[in-house]
Amino acid sequence: MTDHEFLKHVENKTLPPAQFNHNGHLRLAFILNKQFSSAKATQEVVRLIKGYAENLGATSKFHVTLTCALCYFIFQRMERAQKTQSLAEFMVINSDLISEAPILLRSFYHEATLYSDDARLGFIPPDKQIIPEPYLSIFNTLEVSVCIP
């Protein structure tokens, strides 16, 4: 499936749930960051994942802080590569985003913070490491309507 087809299926909420797992979320963020600024891509990632979860009746599975933190990891790595890599190349070079995402997240957050209801419902800044600007400002200014279920 092409990136365009994948994005259309996510937008239309017709992508099979098995294809919208962790790797599917990473693919979505990668595709959108190729098309838009990090700010716009973040808004779209949050909107689309939240909408998809709502459509499945799984609103409680959507987690704003997790989504933003993973966007940060993807976007800052894409920035270093100047957004020139294909998804396949990016995933090979950044395989830790797939296999070690929980470890990466715990390097920025205490578990109690990351898995709190507040972090699920809205962006909470890391309490171990700092997410630098402009990412922190992007996440702190997400539209409230996008974040609140």
Q: How many domains does the chain have?
A: 1
Is 120 inside any structural domain? Answer: yes
Asked if residue 90 is part of any domain, the answer here is yes
Neighbouring C-alpha atoms within 13 Å toward the C-beta of 72: 25
| Residue 149 resides in a domain | no
pLDDT at residue 107 in the model: 93
Domain containing residue 34: 3-141
pLDDT per residue, tens digit, the chain (149 aa), is 899 999 999 999 999 999 999 999 999 999 999 999 988 999 999 999 999 999 998 888 899 999 999 999 999 889 887 666 788 999 999 999 999 999 999 999 999 999 999 999 989 999 998 888 888 788 877 754 444 44
Convert the chain into a string of H (helix), E (strand) and C (coil): CCHHHHHHHHHCCCCCHHHCCHHHHHHHHHHHHHHCCHHHHHHHHHHHHHHHHHHCCCHHHCCHHHHHHHHHHHHHHHHHCCCCCCHHHHHHHCCHHHHCHHHHHHHHCCHHHHCCHHHHHCCCCCCCCCCCCCHHHHHHCCCHHHHCC
Q: Is 134 part of a structural domain of the chain?
A: yes
Q: How buried is residue 21: exposed, middle or buried, by Cβ count under 10 Å (0-12/13-18/19+)?
A: exposed
Give the predicted TM-score (pTM) of the model: 0.87
Residue 68 lies in a domain: yes
Q: What is the pLDDT of residue 144?
A: 43
| pLDDT score, position 149 | 40
| Residue 74 placed within a domain | yes
The reported pLDDT for the residue numbered 148 is: 41
- 148 assigned to some structural domain: no
Separation in Å, CA 30 to CA 49, 80, 104, 139, 141: 14, 13, 18, 17, 21
Contact of 85 with 65, CB cutoff 8 Å = no
Q: Within a domain: residue 45?
A: yes
